[in-house]
Amino acid sequence: MKNDKLLLKIIIIFIVLFSFEDGYAQLGFCNGNSGDPIFTETFGTGTTQTPLPAGTTTYTFSSATPNDGFYTVSSSTAFFDWHDVPDHTEGDTNGKCLIVNADFTAGEFYRTTIIGLCENTSYEFSAFLINLSRSTGCGGNNIPINVRFEIWDDTDTTLLASGDTGEIDAQATPNWEQYGLVFQTLPAQTEVILKMRNNGAGGCGNDLAIDDIVFKSCGDNVTIEDTSNESDVFICETQTPYNLNLQANPDGTIFNTYAYQWETSTDGINWTEIVGETNQNLNINVNTTSLYRVKVAEDAINLANALCNVISDEFSITIVPTPSAPVSNGDITICENENQPLEVTVPTDITVNWYDAVSGGNLLEENNTSFSPENEGVYYAEAISINGNCISNTRTAVTLTFSQSPQVFDEAVFFCQDESVEISANINNMSYIWNTGETTESITVSTEGVYTVDVTNLDGCTVAKTIEVTQLDAPIIAEVYTENNDLIITTENVGDFSYSVDGIDYQNSPVFENLEGGRYTVYVRENSDCGIDTQTFIHFIVPKFFTPNNDTYHDTWRLKGIEFYASSEVQIFDRYGKLLFYRKNKPISWDGMFREQPLPTSDYWYVININGQRRVGHFTLKR
């Protein structure tokens, strides 16, 4: 049996050696879940330089400036022309770091033993390094730093993992850089040896500082999900007891085998193991708000040691109490033309849906503590928890009532030029505010424009009435003239006018067609009795023909209206220029006779002089 164990250990050593043969030059960090540090070296604090414990280094301690092959532990790196940088540890006052001036010969410059590890467990080693040389130093030919990390078993005979930083050149602005290495302990192994070696030669450059050496356990990232792939759930208290079915999902980045122990907590601080729950899945009935997680290790023996296992993400189940019905902010009475929402109050983790019935009914508004309905009536607010969508047992009724607003109607009002007009809200027992500043129901205005009045009833409801006031101007006759047989009137202004030639009968058109010649008084009036204008006009017409056949129609060539002129003279000629008729300052009516003999059908010419104005033309005599 003893020989079998020895053979097994030799086989494992060979497996480990083979596994890391290609990894000796590979650095890296834990790809899974890094635990809390189980070893930390920050090199302390203080303003004095101190040596490392005996056996930690082969270099020589310097309490002053460290030359090649020397080291110091100091809160200051201001040696030679090096960068003066603070240590890496956060929160330190006068924090120290290990400062190394590399020896001319490459080799080991730091080692330490790490104890308290767990067997068959993966770990992550990490440390921060910085190149202290300035990029301008050594004539720009600084030797770069290059450090090798090695993890050995406690016998210092088996190399578990190693890796090189590669060349780290001097920089104008230095930065601490972290380097890491992942390894796994062997069966029955609880200690390892960390070694750091200088790969570069000494000389000008190759000057470095090291800080914050840390060892952590390394395991898989473990998530927890329920059957709906959720990482937390909210359950209404009406759904309890709730059957919770969880599964732990390690990502497989580190562990090859898995051991589980489920835990529960009510505060996230104090955790209790769930007896017998050591499988990947957890299936239990839940009645209270609680948290769940699982400890995971590669070996069941490591589940009891916090340094040897990893903890999954937490899964929370929250039992949500049934929310109370919303609290009404009060029923609302508003005017018809106003908009004021109904409102209720709920806690911050509760939202509100509005319905038209005390139960069931139609959803009118969701996720809103206020609601603005279009119609008055009773509306119902239901509380719903944001987490879990838990519904209140009852709904809160809130009533909206409309107060009737004053009934007013816009108007168009007219007034005559040089007059005024009274305009009114036309509704009693209200309060009034005109845009003129007046506060009576009616006001008198003499300027056209748009007037408004705010009318408010006893309930405080206000509406606005608009009155457009327009001035109507009296007509002004511009011209009266004869065109053919028509009398035509024009005005200087426009308006709702009607026209007359006798002051009795009016028409909408300013044209009086085929009006018999004569003297007329024309009238133009504004149809809303806002004025009238008159003018006398002689409508003088020269007939184009006449038919002296004694049928009483057009028996004479008569110039009606000529008698109203102060002076007139009329001459009629035949086509040869023979004077046939002459009158002066007398009415004209020619019967087509010359020397008591009827003249034949033909065209005849006239010359008319009226008040010094001469008119010439011709007309036709038809038999």
336 by Cβ neighbours in 10 Å (0-12 / 13-18 / 19+) ranks as exposed
pTM of the predicted protein model = 0.51
DSSP 4: H
Q: What is the pLDDT of residue 7?
A: 38
Which tens digit of pLDDT belongs to each residue from 466-498? 999 999 999 999 999 998 889 999 999 999 999
Q: What is the pLDDT of residue 26?
A: 65
Residue 69 and residue 103 in contact, taking contact as beta carbons nearer than 8 Å: yes
Q: What is the pLDDT of residue 517?
A: 85
Share of the chain above pLDDT 70, in %: 96
Amino acid at 252: G
Give the pLDDT mean for 368-373.
96
Which tens digit of pLDDT belongs to each residue from 122-132? 889 999 999 99
Q: What is the pLDDT of residue 52?
A: 96
d(CA 462, CA 442): 17
Q: What is the pLDDT of residue 87?
A: 95
Residue 496 and residue 524 in contact, taking contact as beta carbons nearer than 8 Å: no
Tokens matching residue 228 = 């709906």
Q: What is the pLDDT of residue 615?
A: 86
Q: Say how many CA atoms lie within 13 Å of 440 toward its Cβ.
A: 6
Q: What is the pLDDT of residue 17?
A: 35
Which tens digit of pLDDT belongs to each residue from 496-518? 999 999 999 999 999 999 998 88
Query: Using 50, 70 and 90 to split pLDDT, how confident is the model at 120?
Result: confident
d(CA 220, CA 298): 10
Of the listed ranges 23-27, 303-307, 514-518, the least confidently predicted one is 23-27
Give the pLDDT mean for 326-341.
92
d(CA 555, CA 574): 19
Q: Which of 20-29, 332-341, 397-406 has the highest mean pLDDT?
A: 397-406
Query: Using 50, 70 and 90 to split pLDDT, how confident is the model at 338?
Result: confident
Q: What is the pLDDT of residue 399?
A: 97
- Angle (nearest 5°) at CA 87 between 85 and 92: 130
Closest by CA to 260, choosing from 283, 278, 281, 276, is 278
d(CA 536, CA 606): 27
Tokens matching residue 206 = 């190759």
Residue 302 and residue 118 in contact, taking contact as beta carbons nearer than 8 Å: yes
Q: What is the pLDDT of residue 5?
A: 34
Of the listed ranges 4-13, 22-31, 110-119, 290-299, the least confidently predicted one is 4-13
Residue 554 and residue 592 in contact, taking contact as beta carbons nearer than 8 Å: no
Give the pLDDT mean for 463-468.
96
Closest by CA to 540, choosing from 620, 481, 589, is 481
Q: What is the pLDDT of residue 219?
A: 87
Give the pLDDT mean for 211-233.
91
Q: What is the pLDDT of residue 488?
A: 97
Give the pLDDT mean for 372-398.
96
Q: Say how many CA atoms lie within 13 Å of 465 toward its Cβ.
A: 26
Q: Examine the pLDDT at 16 and tell me if it is beyond 60.
A: no
Give the pLDDT mean for 179-206.
90
- Domains of the chain with CATH codes: 2-219 (2.60.120.260), 222-320 (2.60.40.10), 327-403 (2.60.40.10), 411-468 (no CATH), 477-539 (2.60.40), 545-621 (2.60.40)
d(CA 560, CA 557): 10
DSSP letters, 166-202, are --B--BSS---EEEEEEEEPPTT---EEEEEEE-S--
Average pLDDT of the residues of the chain: 90
Q: Which residue has the higher pLDDT, 36 or 144?
A: 144
